[in-house]
Structure 1
Amino acid sequence: MEETINIVLVIIGGLVFFLGVVSEVIKKLNFSEPIAALLFGVLLSSAVSGVFNPDVWSHTLLEEVARLAVAVGVMGVALRVPFSYTRKHWKSVALMLILTMPFRWIASSVLIYWITGFGFTVSLLIGAIVTPTDPILTLSVVSGKLAEKNLPGRLRHFLLTESGSNEGLAYLFVILPILLMTLKPAEALSRWTVHTLLWEISFSIILGAAAGYISGRMLRSAKSKGTIDSSSYYSYCLALTLLVLGGVKLLKGEGILAVFAAGTIFSMVSTEEERHEEEHVVEGVDRFFMVPIFTLLGLVLPWQEWAKLGWEGLILAFLILLLHRLPILLFTRSFIPDIRNNPDMLFAGWFGPVGIGAFYYSQVSMRHTGIMEIWPVVSLIICMSIFLHGVTATPFTKLYGKHTLQKPEYSKEKTEDQKSRLQNKEHFKVKSLQEVLKR
């Protein structure tokens, strides 16, 4: 056991180090870090080299690891997006969630029902599992030098905020089919309305927001009194994530949504200087948690079950990725202020990746229902999303920049983004100089 743990530490640490060194090179090659981590997991799996045997791992372990990774991802999104954007553009995000999430759920469920032949309720459950947009994969698309150069901050922040908020809200859609399978219809709807909507969702948002506000105030007080240094600050954000995730779950709430609410309010309370530090922390933490979770995913892929799905499984996965966002955005774009043109609509419609959130919700669903057929379908959709969105991120980002930001009517938006990035760089230069002078 000790030897296995040491092997895991060496492998994960080495991969994180390597991907950190060549991250920009990978993007230029139309590749992505999640793809690299996933392939590395496949290489280590029992299906290839046999270094690890995931068959002995419990679903509880996989569920909890995925839950932690999703929580870190949504906290990262909440801290990365400026609260000034959230305050001014909340309407776009809210309309995106209200108008598109139900459609994505129903569209995916219909495709699953039509192609796989699963029962209606099971199809609704799998459709709900693949509904949320993954914040970790979205972050890999809209972050980095290439994205900052070619995508306006408005669009990058819009996609990040939407991915962070719908990851927790997806619980509403996932739990309804589970309740319908385990309870009488009237009892299921009553429990979904009273317990899920009012307690697990609404109260979790309130608890998370309160935790974010209190922790933000405590941090400002500590900084003003000089009782916290930079190294303590780095652990502060991660500690807040763990505190809210575990605390809300103990109260039978939805921890992931609470974490996003906590991060959003924490960012609101923070000063501009603190927010820049938050972004600096998030970049490292996101990468550190992203690599292990996608490596783990590669280890547990159900190859034999995929073979049984055949071509129908591949067709299903592709159709879901193609149709669960684009059609609804085509009809609702005029209602969403941040979707200003066709390139915005096409980019936001395509980049709705399915990732670790679906991994987590699939484990939750199998624990509640005992339906193991969920995982082969969900995992195939996740993997196709990782590959398709990973290899198209660079060319589509360049194409967006070529056809949108180069036009005169968008020059003002591009100039504002460049000015903001320049201010951030100057901030870090001043901050580094201050640290040197203190020593």
Structure 2
Amino acid sequence: MGPLVANIFDPRSWGTASNTITLEVTRVVLAIGLFAIGIELPKSYLAKHVIGLSVLVIPTMAFGWLAIAGIMNVIFPHLDFISCLVIAACLTPTDPVICASIVGGKYAMEHVPEELRHILAAESAANDGLAYPFLSISIYLTVEVSRGVAFGKWFAVGWLYQVILGTVIGATMGLGFSRLIQYTHKKGYVDRQSYVAQYLAFAIFTIGVVRTIGSDDLLAAFAAGSAMSWDGHFHKQVKDDVFSSVFDFVLNCACFIYIGAWIPFHAFNSAHLFVSPWQLVVLVIVILFLRRIPFVLLLHFWVPEIETWQEALFCGHFGPMGVGAIFISTLALTRLPDPQNPPQNQAELLAAVLHPIVSFVVLCSIIIRMSRCPLPDSAEMMQP
């Protein structure tokens, strides 16, 4: 669909609006996907599995973030370590859109244990929202005058205002809406068929409210979805409806078409940006083996949902990067200076190479993961 073949549309030709459109398209797709994961988790899932989920999310993200940043600093010597931390932060989250295709459907139902599917889905949702703190500290260290100011803003803004406040607002909204819709359903004001419409409208409403105050809208969407299905009522009402699955599938396909046309293929070999294909290929290989696998194997003894080292190896390999990485990298660009040609300093060089490096890794991640995991076909999706 993009400029290299059909040339039907070229997002990068839209000038200054390109990044804004990309940011909001990926934001809406991610938020609906995260909200859907929260809705589809079993009753009170997060409370019952908080230990395993915390171990699988926070240390794995932190270790992978630092490891990939250190290796990138060697592969791309013109980027300093702080710039590598920014790029690595964009690659820390597991993509919930690809996750839904891998852990759902007939193939996954037959070959992946239910506990493993649930923990992987919950992890992919949680670590998308928790990518904010990793990105924010990297950005603050890049643009602020001192490390003291950077860490102060990171704690006050990155954690308290974005992560904690966003989670509290999302959970509160979700619980309130759950009570409201149960009351209206009991009174006969809302029928079962309209639950899906409420589902989609409330997901967008949640990210709109939280985004307006500048908090973590993705984590809020996941918290709202989890809170809505906390007592199991909402999940029970919508579990047999196929419209939400079909809508989510169509939306994801449209988003990936957009990303395919958006990818800057011309920048994968750029002398003035000090980026070459061999560097990108080496980076993908390193990420494939070192971003998650060693740390999940090391930590899986503290994750009750992972029973064997084979399951730990599967969870470690299961780290697709997609829409989430594009969203975080585009968000990072809104906080970096516009690069000149050629870039005049480290911050401008980071802004110039961020999308080429992240998009190449995303492209390879999609090919590697999706080519090995059958997608749910239309017949499966239409089965009640």
Alignment TM-score, normalising by the size of structure 1? 0.78
Q: Which of these residues, 368, 376, 385, is aligned with residue 365 of structure 2?
A: 385
Q: Which of these residues, 311, 319, 330, is aligned with residue 352 of structure 1?
A: 319
The number of residue pairs the alignment matches comes to 354
The 1:88/1:231 distance shift into structure 2, 3 A limit, reads: same
Tell me what 2:352 maps to: 372
Tell me what 2:289 maps to: 322
Tell me what 2:343 maps to: none
SS at match of 1:372: helix
Residue 275 of structure 1, CA deviation? 4.9
CA deviations on 1:393-415 (whole Å, 9 max, x unpaired) are: 259xxxxxxxxxxxxxxxxxxxx
Determine if the alignment matches structure 1 residue 218 to structure 2 residue 180.
yes
Determine if the alignment matches structure 1 residue 127 to structure 2 residue 94.
no
Q: One-letter code of the match for 1:92?
A: G
Q: For residues 138 and 251 of structure 1, what CA distance do their matches in structure 2 show?
A: 29
The 1:272/1:66 distance shift into structure 2, 3 A limit, reads: closer
The 1:273/1:54 distance shift into structure 2, 3 A limit, reads: closer
Q: Which of these residues, 290, 293, 310, is aligned with residue 343 of structure 1?
A: 310
Q: For residues 112 and 150 of structure 2, what CA distance do their matches in structure 1 show?
A: 44
Tell me what 1:203 maps to: 165
Tell me what 1:27 maps to: none
> Which stretch shifts more, 121-130 or 298-307?
298-307
**Match runs of 1:19-98 below 5 Å:** 44-57=1-14, 58-98=18-58
Q: Is the 8 A contact 2:26 2:323 kept in 1?
A: yes
Residue 386 of structure 1, CA deviation? 0.3
Determine if the alignment matches structure 1 residue 108 to structure 2 residue 88.
no
SS at match of 2:320: coil
Percent identity, please.
29
Q: One-letter code of the match for 2:104?
A: S
Residue 357 of structure 1, CA deviation? 0.7
Q: Which of these residues, 92, 108, 124, is aligned with residue 147 of structure 1?
A: 108
Q: For residues 232 and 345 of structure 1, what CA distance do their matches in structure 2 show?
A: 40
Note the aligned Cα RMSD (angstroms).
1.8
Q: Is the 8 A contact 1:130 1:354 kept in 2?
A: yes
Q: Is the 8 A contact 1:201 1:254 kept in 2?
A: yes
SS at match of 2:306: coil
Tell me what 1:176 maps to: 137
Determine if the alignment matches structure 1 residue 188 to structure 2 residue 155.
no
Residue 54 of structure 1, CA deviation? 2.2
Q: For residues 278 and 112 of structure 1, what CA distance do their matches in structure 2 show?
A: 46
Residue 164 of structure 1, CA deviation? 0.4
Tell me what 1:18 maps to: none
The 1:279/1:232 distance shift into structure 2, 3 A limit, reads: closer
The 1:378/1:278 distance shift into structure 2, 3 A limit, reads: farther
Q: For residues 317 and 59 of structure 2, what CA distance do their matches in structure 1 show?
A: 16
Q: Is the 8 A contact 2:31 2:218 kept in 1?
A: yes
The 1:275/1:327 distance shift into structure 2, 3 A limit, reads: farther
The 1:340/1:134 distance shift into structure 2, 3 A limit, reads: same
Q: Is the 8 A contact 2:195 2:238 kept in 1?
A: no
Residue 84 of structure 1, CA deviation? 4.4
The 1:394/1:281 distance shift into structure 2, 3 A limit, reads: closer
Name the structure with the higher helix share: 1
> Which stretch shifts more, 383-392 or 307-316?
307-316
The 1:244/1:278 distance shift into structure 2, 3 A limit, reads: farther
Q: One-letter code of the match for 2:86?
A: L
Q: Is the 8 A contact 2:228 2:234 kept in 1?
A: no
CA deviations on 1:294-340 (whole Å, 9 max, x unpaired) are: 00110011111113321121121121122110001121111111111
Structure 2, unaligned runs of 5 or more:
271-275, 338-350, 376-382
Q: For residues 84 and 147 of structure 1, what CA distance do their matches in structure 2 show?
A: 23
Tell me what 2:122 maps to: 161
Q: Is the 8 A contact 2:195 2:237 kept in 1?
A: no
Q: For residues 125 and 244 of structure 2, what CA distance do their matches in structure 1 show?
A: 14
Q: One-letter code of the match for 2:197?
A: S
Q: For residues 333 and 273 of structure 1, what CA distance do their matches in structure 2 show?
A: 29
Q: One-letter code of the match for 1:374?
A: L
> Which stretch shifts more, 223-232 or 233-242?
223-232
The 1:49/1:340 distance shift into structure 2, 3 A limit, reads: same
Q: For residues 85 and 202 of structure 1, what CA distance do their matches in structure 2 show?
A: 19
Q: Is the 8 A contact 2:44 2:231 kept in 1?
A: no
Q: Is the 8 A contact 1:234 1:281 kept in 2?
A: yes
Q: Is the 8 A contact 1:80 1:279 kept in 2?
A: no
SS at match of 1:362: helix
